[in-house]
């Protein structure tokens, strides 16, 4: 009797193991068919979405530089135009760095921004000034710049700043003065050689 009982238990174990193996086999087949059908049906859709996202990210990362050409009829100075553009860019939700040639030019920009009407006030600071919170517009000059991340570079320097590569958008100017105009052409050529997408707009 004991022997028959052991034999019976062995057969029960075999049957149970076979049932578990069969159940595992069925689950594997089901998973394979499910993911096979899912991939055939939805893979093209997700691949298209992924490709579109990559293209959008590439478009966002495209480097653009716009040169504003001051015509003979223009009554504004480069500094005044730079302030107006900085205010407009800030209102669009971007942070701006105005890179000046000298500290005196930076102080002039600072004063122009303070002179704006109260309803057109633009939060800003000079590089090196102690502020409780980072302001959306920073005014720097040669050898003086904070390291806070900015979206748009408004360049007032005679040459392209060394840190221009950290921006994806640059605004520059072509003044009326012949010497300054020649320097602007050189900056334009340099940016073109670096692969920037360039555009121009007349002011005045």
Q: How far apart are CA 95 and CA 104, in angstroms?
A: 22
Banded pLDDT at 33 (limits 50, 70, 90):
low
b or e along 151-179 (b: 16 or more beta carbons within 10 Å of the residue's beta carbon)? bbbbbbbeebbeebeebebbbbbbbeeee
Counting the structural domains of the chain, the total is 2
pLDDT tens digits, 82-113: 999 999 999 999 999 999 999 999 999 999 99
Same domain for 129 and 40, yes or no, is no
Same domain for 52 and 105, yes or no, is no
- Would you state the pLDDT for residue 143? 85
Same domain for 97 and 186, yes or no, is yes
- Which residues have a Cβ under 8 Å from the Cβ of 80 and sit 6 or more positions away? 112
Same domain for 87 and 39, yes or no, is no
Same domain for 52 and 102, yes or no, is no
Domain span holding position 88: 62-203
Banded pLDDT at 11 (limits 50, 70, 90):
very low
Same domain for 25 and 87, yes or no, is no
Which contiguous run of DSSP H or E holds residue 56? Answer: helix 2-60
Q: 145: number of CA atoms within 13 Å, CB side?
A: 21
Flag the least confident range among 127-136, 154-163, 189-198: 127-136
Same domain for 13 and 67, yes or no, is no
pTM of the model: 0.70
Same domain for 76 and 134, yes or no, is yes
Instruction: Show contacts of 73-78: CB within 8 Å, 24+ apart.
Output: 73/204, 74/176, 74/203, 74/204, 75/204, 76/203, 76/204, 78/156, 78/173, 78/175
CATH number of the domain within which 170 lies = 3.40.50.10110
The sign one gets for the Cα dihedral 45, 48, 50, 53 is negative
Same domain for 152 and 51, yes or no, is no
Residue with more model confidence, 135 or 68: 68
Same domain for 53 and 73, yes or no, is no
**The last residue of a domain, from among 22, 39, 59:** 59
Same domain for 126 and 194, yes or no, is yes
């Amino acid at each position: 009797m004991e022997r028959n009982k052991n034999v019976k238990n062995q057969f029960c174990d075999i049957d149970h193991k076979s049932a578990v193996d069969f159940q595992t086999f069925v689950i594997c087949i089901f998973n394979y068919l499910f993911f096979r059908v899912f991939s055939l049906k939805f893979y093209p859709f997700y691949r298209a979405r992924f490709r579109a996202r990559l293209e959008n990210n590439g478009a966002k990362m495209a480097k653009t530089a716009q040169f504003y050409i001051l015509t003979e009829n223009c009554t504004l100075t480069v500094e005044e135009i730079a302030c107006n553009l900085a205010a407009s860019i800030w209102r669009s939700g971007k942070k701006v760095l105005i890179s000046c040639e000298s500290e005196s030019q930076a102080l002039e920009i600072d004063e122009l921004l303070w002179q704006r009407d109260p309803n057109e006030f633009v939060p800003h600071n000079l590089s090196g000034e102690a502020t409780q919170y980072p302001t959306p517009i920073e005014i720097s000059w040669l050898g003086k710049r904070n390291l806070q991340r900015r979206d748009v570079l408004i360049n007032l320097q005679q040459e392209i700043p060394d840190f221009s590569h950290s921006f994806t958008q640059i605004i520059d100017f072509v003044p009326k003065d012949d010497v300054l105009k020649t320097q602007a052409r050189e900056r334009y050529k340099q940016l073109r050689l670096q692969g920037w997408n360039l555009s121009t707009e007349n002011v005045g």
